[in-house]
A and B are shown apart, each in its own frame.
Chain A
């Protein structure tokens, strides 16, 4: 039986009546690169990586926004910055209207209950030496909640079952290595939802898993979104996964958003040359000997030396004089669709 995913078609319309959970304004995160002593002596310039270089983004209750881009484009850094896990250099992040730049520990703790992270490797959250039970209830422990074992057990069983591991009791007293890869990721998810968060950053949660079990995890995230009105920032380099589960997709390149729109706008009607390139190289399980894939040459440029003008100009086949001088701004194409490309905005202006 085929279930067509309706949520995204209705998604943005519904979003209008929803609360903003996360609001990012002109966010920048830079890292100082430690140079060897000799280099430091002879170069005057500090080397800085602009990992996130001016991003604005809103995420609504119960919305899944995917962040797609090549390795090194700054996806993880943006996710961590939203969760206040890396220092913000400029701009601001608001969580339910409050700046996340909390000053006291109590506030940070409260924020951590409401905003969680899931990693590519479940072992980043599951200690290989502790039982699934202990791993799942750890957030309760940290926050001194539900002190009795039986209360915690009840909560853990519910979280495991909500994460698709039923009956939950069967898994409580196992070690992570006794689970399959997919189950391990589900256990990590159980730990992240036990405190009833409103927002989760999921950083490549399925890229280590076999294709055959990926969709199980994706369905789980969709369920959590629907049943708990949870919002997600879903990080992936795989456009087809983003298309499957998100309401909106943001395409990121060298620390900036190049294009953002509803899932279908990005897959069926993208405008930015970089989005088109990403789409063009998606492998499709079909025989196609004559399909010439336009693979971009080279790699994402060194983030310590971001190209002047449009940062994509070194790899863009349409680059023209203006692209080497002015940086294109994210410009509205339609309601939810924004693009940062001179060519695209000129086309639009010419038509109107």
Chain B
């Protein structure tokens, strides 16, 4: 059985200026022990996708349609009490910038223990014991559970947040930009840690990032998101070496590669669109160097490139043609 299957998810925000179509017909699947990178520019709907899965949307946001099947069970219409059981025990999330949200006047160990007690019937003493085990798992010294957040570096705080996410043995972890604010060395350490945990605990991982370059070693699959939609998805090899969508191609070309010639990579011209009034047809067409007439008129459908590899473009792979 699959761990997670999302079918045609739409999540919208209703605000005074209109309806923000933040997630607009997203489908994806993830298996046990598998890791998926969800990548795209700021504002394309990555966090909203994650908040939909964990059902932690703010009040102005709601799932308009679609299914989220966790181990085959649709969790979209669960009651509050039911969803609380799913959260933490089945799915847990490491939030964007969460490490800065630690309470500065409370010991880190106590903060994690408190979260555990809230979800499992454990005594304080047992909860603290569990925190010590978790610290070991994320390679922090167990004795440091009595430290305060200011005594931790950024990387250590992020490890503590991972420990908290692991507290109730979830089957799926969603990391929302878990390394974005960290320096490259700590980023590499945290990615290695997540990879190790995934293999040891056979968890599924969704890694959300705007940095495609970090996914090559840590993910099995990649989904590229643009303006609320997934525009290309496939195995890492498909996305890196055999991509079909111009957005994927442009995104990859914006990285410098220190093993190659020193050239200034291209930026993607323009900025991502407003999701209240997204562009007609293909949403990427105002920024796409390969757009033709049809692109502004007709929305491209998902096409199959090869097994497990799909893209939504009228002219897939056009940039490889001579």
B187, B188, B236, B261: the one within 8 Å of A4 (CB): B261
Name the residue among A5, A267, A285 with the largest chain B CB count within 10 angstroms.
A285
* B84-92, B122-130, B198-206, B213-221 - interface stretch: B213-221
Contact between chains at B184 and A281 (CB < 8 Å): yes
* Nearest Cβ on chain B to A266's Cβ, whole angstroms: 10
* Nearest Cβ on chain B to A302's Cβ, whole angstroms: 10
Closest to B269 in A: A216
Contact between chains at B182 and A71 (CB < 8 Å): yes
| Given A282-B184, A287-B216: A71 and B266 interface contact (C-beta under 8 Å) | no
| Given A281-B184, A283-B213, A293-B188: A211 and B254 interface contact (C-beta under 8 Å) | yes
| Given A3-B263, A212-B250: A285 and B257 interface contact (C-beta under 8 Å) | yes
* Nearest Cβ on chain A to B300's Cβ, whole angstroms: 21
**Taking the complex as formed, is A214 at the interface, i.e. its CB lies under 8 A from any CB of chain B?**
yes
Name the residue among A2, A212, A295 with the largest chain B CB count within 10 angstroms.
A212
Contact between chains at B217 and A71 (CB < 8 Å): no
**Taking the complex as formed, is A213 at the interface, i.e. its CB lies under 8 A from any CB of chain B?**
yes
Contact between chains at B257 and A215 (CB < 8 Å): no
Contact between chains at B42 and A210 (CB < 8 Å): yes
Contact between chains at B264 and A3 (CB < 8 Å): yes
* A101-109, A239-247, A341-349 - interface stretch: A239-247
Q: Quick one: which of A274-292 are within 8 Å of B by CB?
A: 277-279, 281-289, 291
Contact between chains at B185 and A211 (CB < 8 Å): no
Closest to A215 in B: B267
| Given A211-B212, A244-B262, A287-B216: A295 and B254 interface contact (C-beta under 8 Å) | no
Contact between chains at B264 and A181 (CB < 8 Å): no
| Given A212-B41, A212-B250: A5 and B264 interface contact (C-beta under 8 Å) | yes
Cα distance A169–B259 in the bound complex, in angstroms: 42
Cα distance A283–B183 in the bound complex, in angstroms: 12
Cα distance A264–B258 in the bound complex, in angstroms: 10
Contact between chains at A237 and B184 (CB < 8 Å): yes
* Nearest Cβ on chain A to B202's Cβ, whole angstroms: 19
Contact residues in B for A237 (Cβ distance below 8 Å):
183-185
**Taking the complex as formed, is A72 at the interface, i.e. its CB lies under 8 A from any CB of chain B?**
yes
Q: Residues of A within 8 Å of B, CB-based: how many? A: 50
Cα distance A277–B188 in the bound complex, in angstroms: 11
Contact residues in A for B236 (Cβ distance below 8 Å):
287
**Taking the complex as formed, is B147 at the interface, i.e. its CB lies under 8 A from any CB of chain A?**
no
Contact residues in A for B251 (Cβ distance below 8 Å):
211-212
**Taking the complex as formed, is A296 at the interface, i.e. its CB lies under 8 A from any CB of chain B?**
yes
**Taking the complex as formed, is A219 at the interface, i.e. its CB lies under 8 A from any CB of chain B?**
yes
Contact between chains at A283 and B267 (CB < 8 Å): no
* Nearest Cβ on chain B to A51's Cβ, whole angstroms: 15
Contact between chains at B258 and A240 (CB < 8 Å): yes
Cα distance A329–B48 in the bound complex, in angstroms: 52
Contact between chains at A4 and B262 (CB < 8 Å): yes
Cα distance A98–B142 in the bound complex, in angstroms: 53
Q: Can you offer 30 A-B residue contacts whose CB atoms are under 8 A?
A: A4-B261, A5-B263, A70-B186, A71-B154, A71-B182, A181-B42, A210-B210, A211-B211, A211-B254, A211-B255, A215-B254, A215-B264, A216-B267, A237-B184, A237-B185, A240-B256, A244-B264, A263-B262, A283-B184, A283-B211, A284-B213, A285-B213, A285-B252, A285-B255, A287-B237, A287-B240, A295-B189, A295-B192, A297-B189, A299-B155
- Measuring CB to CB, which residues of chain B are less than 8 angstroms from any residue of chain A? 41-42, 153-156, 182-189, 192, 210-214, 216-217, 236-237, 240-241, 250-252, 254-259, 261-268, 271
Seed contacts A211-B254, A281-B185; 12 additional CB < 8 Å A-B pairs = A2-B263, A5-B262, A210-B42, A212-B251, A237-B184, A240-B257, A281-B184, A283-B187, A285-B213, A285-B240, A288-B216, A291-B217
